[in-house]
């Protein structure tokens, strides 16, 4: 998506404080943190919202949760939240699915 800010970050067209990446996801700091630790786990595949997932995307979403757990452990977080905002009514502001890791 040419106008998607997260796609631009993933492509290296926009700067971000990237803390982890693999072939499926990129993890970077939120530019509008809501907690001391606020990272975004973003899939390389552009999916506008959880409500628009297709067959097979559940594997990618499961990977996002797994990476959230691993990043939290690497940071030594004793407790944390993993949160998806779904749709405008659910507080989603960037329409490329992303998992918030907050602590």
Q: Which residues belong to the active site?
A: 98
- The Cα–Cα gap between 79 and 6 comes to 26
Three-state secondary structure of 9-62 = HHCCCCCCCEEEECCCEEEEECCCCCCCCEEEEEECCCCCCHHHCCCCHHHHHH
């Amino acid at each position: 998506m040419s106008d998607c800010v997260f796609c631009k970050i993933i492509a290296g067209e926009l700067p971000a404080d990237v803390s982890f990446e693999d072939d499926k996801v990129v993890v970077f700091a939120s530019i509008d943190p809501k907690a001391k630790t606020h990272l975004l786990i973003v899939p390389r595949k552009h999916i506008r919202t959880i409500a628009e997932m297709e067959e097979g995307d559940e594997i990618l979403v499961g990977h996002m949760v797994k990476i959230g757990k691993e990043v939290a452990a690497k940071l030594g977080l004793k407790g944390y939240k993993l949160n998806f905002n779904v749709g405008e009514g659910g507080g989603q502001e960037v329409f490329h699915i992303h998992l918030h890791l907050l602590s």
